[in-house]
Structure 1
Amino acid sequence: MYPTIQFIHSYWAYLTLIVLLIAAVNAIVGYTSNKEYGATNFRLALFSLITSHIQLLIGLVLYFLTPSFQVLMEQGMGEVMKNSTHRLYLVEHPLIMIIAVVLITMGYSKHKTKLTSKPKFKILAIFYTIALILMLSRIPWSAWF
């Protein structure tokens, strides 16, 4: 079961990153070019929110199935923090990804309260871009390709 969940988590990550990148670039372009916020912009923001939440749920399931989790349970957090690989998979990656999904959720929620296009794009641009940068910073690139 672990390899299947890991496969899904890895490939859903591509979709999540692509959609988040498109949504962030769309928000930046919309903000800088004074475009009107429309249904397509709303759908991009929403789809980014949905894909990131699905990725988070898959990741949480994977977290408790990973063999590294057994190391945490048997040897404790002290041993995990000494090993850079275990620290990445058990602490850094999950924590930063949760923070990124929270930022996406906050940006989506805050942008809905704005009444005009420019503030909507600004909120999405800020929150989605920071979330994208955080996600890119904690992807285990060596294991991903």
Structure 2
Amino acid sequence: MYQGLLHAHNGFRWLVLIALLFAVLLAVSGWASKRKWGRADNLSGLILVMIMDIQFLLGIVLYAFVSPITKAAFNDFGAAMKNSDLRFYAVEHILLMIIALALVHIGRAKSKKDVAPLKKYKASAIFYGVALILVLAAIPWDRALF
């Protein structure tokens, strides 16, 4: 079960990155060109939120229930904080990803709420862009399965 969930979580990462990159590029280009907010802009944010939510659910199941890494970390949390690998998975990875998820949700909400297209694009570009940076920083690239 652990290996299957881990592979799903690793594979889904690429969908998250593609959706984030696409949403950021669409928002930045719309902001720069001052174009009217369209269906594709709205859809990219919606798809991004859905993909991020699914990835978060996979990650939470791994984190809280099946990962031997987090189980080891929580058995002796003090020792885990001295071990960079255990600390990364027990604290840093999940914290950065939760913040990124919150930023994506805030960006989506702001893009739905604002009336002016430039405000929608600006909010989307900023919130999705920062989320992309956090996600890239929090991915364990040394353990990446391609």
Unpaired segments ≥5 residues, structure 1: none
Partner of 1:63: 63
In the alignment, is the contact (CA less than 8 A) between 2:74 and 2:80 conserved in 1?
Answer: no
- Spell out structure 1 runs of 4+ moving beyond 6 A: none
CA distance in 2, matches of 1:132, 1:40: 19
Partner of 1:116: 116
Q: Deviations over 1:51-104 (max 9, x none)?
A: 0011001000011211112212322x2111100000111110011000000000
Partner of 1:103: 103
CA distance in 2, matches of 1:126, 1:69: 32
CA distance in 1, matches of 2:16, 2:69: 24
Q: Deviations over 1:101-122 (max 9, x none)?
A: 0000011111111112111000
- Aligned to 2:35, what secondary structure does the other structure show? coil
CA distance in 1, matches of 2:32, 2:133: 20
- Trace 1:63-82 onto structure 2 (pairs within 5 A): 63-64=63-64, 65-75=66-76, 77-82=77-82
Q: TM-score, normalised by structure 1?
A: 0.96
- RMSD value, Cα: 0.9
- Trace 1:1-145 onto structure 2 (pairs within 5 A): 1-64=1-64, 65-75=66-76, 77-145=77-145
Q: TM-score, normalised by structure 2?
A: 0.96
How many pairs does the alignment contain? Answer: 144
Among all aligned residue pairs of Structure 1 and Structure 2, give the percentage whose two residues are the same amino acid. Answer: 38
